[in-house]
Amino acid sequence: MNKNLILKLLLFTTTILFFSSCEKEDSGVIDPNYTAPVIVNITQSPTVVNASSSNPEISFPVAIEVNSQNQISNAYARIFNPGNTMIAEVLLQNSGGNSYSANASIGNISCLVVGVYKIQFQVEDNLGLMSNVFLKEFEVRNPNNSPPFIELTSLPDSVVRPVQDSVLLTISLNANDSDGICDIRSATFDAKRPDGVVFNNLPMVYEGNGIFKFSNYVTSTGLNGYFVYTFKVNDNSNALSQPVSDSIKFVQP
């Protein structure tokens, strides 16, 4: 390569580097620092709400206090039942300054579920930034609660023990509640053997629609005679049903 060409290339490279180094940094672009809104206080919310199963409706006032650099576009109060299912979303309105409030009312309830509910508060500003989540619990009670009752028990009159191995035995009951089947929480029973030994509060499995079942294996060995079972059902307010007893006679083949 001749010397003139090399000199021209060096001069071209030096010129490019000179102009590149002389370019000014664009300081006209400002990196914005956005701050999300913050719920600083819940100024009004319930601790206990009384409701009736005959006309189930849950209503109460709520209010929060918010700090935000930007305008608030939405303020929410989401309500969850004891099973952690969201049953309502209430929009809070600005009630002056940095306060937001609403009268929450939950109707169209087919069956009143008493117990501990949760309110989840959150706000959103006009830039789409979401606030912190603020949780508050309250209890729904039914002052006129009625205890559940057992409609039917289903047990065989007698069971023949197998010659060998084992066979599965299932017993069941049908329960109901004047406050609605959703108010039934659990069923248990006490089992008294022929020798007088008692096993207390044996849990039954809920099958839905008020039906509870219990299954266990009957072996070739074991006591013969009458086993007495005493059943009880309770509801979400811890009200107990009247006990109902039934029996099975176990015999050898």
Evaluated on CA atoms 36, 42, 43, 46, the torsion sign reads positive
Q: How many CA atoms lie within 13 A of 153 on its CB side?
A: 23
DSSP letters for 2-55: -HHHHHHHHHHHHHHHHHHHHPPP------------EEEEEEE--SEEE--SSS
Question: Whole-angstrom Cα distance, residue 149 to residue 183?
Answer: 11
Q: Give the mean pLDDT of 126-133.
A: 96
Q: Mean per-residue pLDDT for 5-28?
A: 49
Question: What pLDDT does residue 27 have?
Answer: 52
Which pLDDT tens digit goes with each residue over 22-72?
444 555 555 567 899 999 999 999 999 999 998 899 999 999 999 999 999
**Is pLDDT at 15 greater than 90 in this prediction?**
no
Please tell me the predicted confidence (pLDDT) of residue 121: 98
Structural tokens at position 171: 């017993």
Quick one: pLDDT at residue 32? Answer: 65
Strands 99-106 and 184-192, sheet pairing: unpaired
Question: Helix count (H) and strand count (E) of the chain?
Answer: 1, 18
Whether the predicted pLDDT of 19 surpasses 50: no
Taking residues 140-165, what's their average pLDDT?
A: 96
Alpha carbons 94 and 68: distance in angstroms, whole number: 13
Nearest to 246 by CA among 148, 159, 146, 147: 159
1 has pLDDT over 60: no
pLDDT at 108: 87
pLDDT value, residue 14: 52
Q: Burial-class residue 206 by CB neighbours within 10 Å (0-12, 13-18, 19+).
A: middle
Quick check: 4 pLDDT over 50? yes
**Integer Cα distance of 247 and 253 in angstroms:** 19
Q: What angle do CA 151, 201, 149 make, to 5 degrees?
A: 20
pLDDT in tens, 179-233: 999 999 999 999 999 999 999 999 999 999 999 999 999 999 889 999 999 999 9
**Distance of alpha carbon 160 from its chain centroid, rounded?**
44
pLDDT, residue 17, reads 47
Pick from 118, 115, 116, 83: nearest CA to 104: 118
pLDDT at 96: 95
Round to whole Å and give the CA distance between 248 and 168.
14
Give pTM, 2 decimals.
Answer: 0.77
Which domains occur in the chain, in start order?
38-141 (2.60.40.2550), 149-251 (2.60.40.2550)
Choice among 12-16, 88-92, 125-129, 168-172 with the minimum mean pLDDT: 12-16
**What is the Cα gyration radius of the chain?**
35
